[in-house]
Amino acid sequence: MNIRKVTVLSKADWEGIQYRLNKRQIEAEKIRKAQEEKERLHELSLERAKNWTNTIYVSYVTTCQKLLDFYATSDKEKLCSHLVTGHECGFTVDIQ
């Protein structure tokens, strides 16, 4: 080994070389961690919103349940007088 051909690097230079060599791997890991964090926050948000009473979905379900209860307890004349078909909840009523 010839001492004149040996290069001594500072710690900062060595870390810079290592970073450039492993840059793709480091960036891929950062992206993966960011995606995992985003998914975790999304799941947390869904879990919290599940019990809220003022969301559009809960309002929709409540309205559909009220219509179903109305149809279950009403007689035919009452149904004919109200003319509520229930299309917005995905069901129809056949009056015969």
Which range marks the domain in which residue 44 is found? 9-49
In a domain, residue 4? The reply is: no
Strand runs (DSSP E) across 3-53, as ranges?
none
Q: How far apart are CA 71 and CA 74, in angstroms?
A: 5
Tell me, yes or no, whether 60 and 44 share the same domain. Answer: no
Distance (Å) of CA 3 to CA 11, 17, 57, 68, 77: 20, 22, 75, 90, 105
Question: Could you report the per-residue pLDDT of 19-63, keeping only the tens digit for each?
Answer: 999 999 999 999 999 999 999 999 998 888 777 777 777 778 788
Compute the mean pLDDT over every residue in the chain, rounded to the nearest whole number: 78
Closest CA to 40 of 30, 28, 32: 32
Domains contained in the chain, number: 2
In a domain, residue 95? The reply is: no
Tell me, yes or no, whether 14 and 42 share the same domain. Answer: yes
Tell me, yes or no, whether 15 and 37 share the same domain. Answer: yes
